[in-house]
Amino acid sequence: AQTVTQSQPEMSVQEAETVTLSCTYDTSESDYYLFWYKQPPSRQMILVIRQEAYKQQNATENRFSVNFQKAAKSFSLKISDSQLGDAAMYFCAYRSAASKLTFGTGTRLQVTL
Amino acid sequence: GAGVSQSPSNKVTEKGKDVELRCDPISGHTALYWYRQSLGQGLEFLIYFQGNSAPDKSGLPSDRFSAERTGGSVSTLTIQRTQQEDSAVYLCASSTTSGSYGNTIYFGEGSWLTVV
C-alpha cells in the first residue's frame, strides 16, 4: 500500500520569507499524481499544486513550487514570499489509477510578522 | 451548487445514538468520497462512490458505518450506536470522474462530530 510521510508536524516562517515543507512517499507504481492541499481553520481542503510523476519539470503555481525527486520519492513544497494567509495545515497526498487519494499527517505552518 | 455542501457543520450526540451526515456534491460530479479526520491527524479514507458502480467501502472502520448515495447525487453517511472514538471531522469530496486520477478533488467544509 502507498504511504505518505510528512516528518515536520509544525513549521514557522516570517512574513515575506521562504519556507519548504517536506514530503516523502512509498510506492511501487510508476504513474501517479502528487498533490499539496492546504487546510485553513475553515477546515475546507484547498488544492495548492499538483505534479504528475511522468513530468520532469517541477510544477509551479505563483508563489508555490515543488521539488519533485522521483527516484528519491520526495515531493517538497516551497512557499516564497510567505503571507499571513498562508498559515494553515498543509497535507501532501498521493493518487494513482490503482489507489485512492492518500494523505500524509500534515504540517502546521505558522507565519509570523 | 458552487461547491461541496455538508450538513450539519457541527453535531454533538450522546454515545449510543445514531447520526446522519449529509453531503451534496458539486453538480455533475460523478465521484464522491468520504474521509474522516481525527484531531491533529491526517485524512482517513472511508468510502468512495463512482457513478452507478458498486461503492468502494474498504475504508469503513466497522459495520456501524454505512453510506448511500441516492440518484447519483446526495450522499448520507450514517454512524450507528456512536462511540467516543467516532468524534472527528467527516469530510466529503467530489470530482468529475475517477478516470483521470489527476483530476482536482473538491472538498466540503466538513461535519464536526462530537460524541459525549
Average pLDDT of chain A?
94
Q: What is the pLDDT of residues A39-57, one digit of tens each?
A: 998 888 999 999 999 998 9
* Neighbour-count burial of A41, counting CB atoms closer than 10 A to its CB (0-12 exposed, 13-18 middle, 19+ buried): exposed
The pLDDT of A65-73, averaged and rounded, is 96
pLDDT in tens, chain B (116 residues): 579 999 999 999 999 999 999 999 999 898 899 999 998 778 999 999 988 888 999 999 999 999 999 887 999 999 999 999 999 999 999 988 755 777 889 999 999 999 99
Q: What is the pLDDT of residues A7-16, one digit of tens each?
A: 999 999 999 9
Residues of A in contact with B33 (CB under 8 A): 100-101
How many other CB atoms are found less than 10 A from the CB of residue B109? 18
Tell me whether residues B56 and A52 touch, CB distance under 8 A: no
Tell me whether residues B107 and A44 touch, CB distance under 8 A: yes
Chain centroid, CA B111 distance in Å: 9
Q: For residue A100, give the nearest of B45, B91, B104 by CB distance.
A: B45
Does any CB of chain A come closer than 8 Å to the CB of residue B1?
no
Is there a contact between A96 and B103 (Cβ–Cβ < 8 Å)? no
Is there a contact between B8 and B111 (Cβ–Cβ < 8 Å)? yes
Tell me whether residues B101 and A32 touch, CB distance under 8 A: yes
CA distance B85 to B15: 10
Q: For residue B101, give the nearest of A37, A45, A97 by CB distance.
A: A97
Residues of B in contact with A96 (CB under 8 A): 101
Alpha carbon of B80: minimum distance to chain A alpha carbons (Å): 25
Q: For residue A106, give the nearest of B35, B42, B110 by CB distance.
A: B42
Q: What pLDDT was estimated at residue B42?
A: 81
What is the grid cell recorded at A67? 521539488
Residues of A in contact with B41 (CB under 8 A): 105-106
CA distance A8 to A23: 9
Tell me whether residues B108 and A32 touch, CB distance under 8 A: no
Closest C-alpha among A74, A58, A76 to residue A26 = A74
Give residues 3 to 32 of B whose Cβ lies within 8 Å of A: none
Alpha carbon of A100: minimum distance to chain B alpha carbons (Å): 8
Read out DSSP for B40-82?
Answer: T--EEEEEEEETTSPPB-TT--STTEEEEEGGGS-EEEEE-S-
Q: Which amino acid is at A67?
A: N
Relative to beta strand A33-39, strand A46-52 is: antiparallel
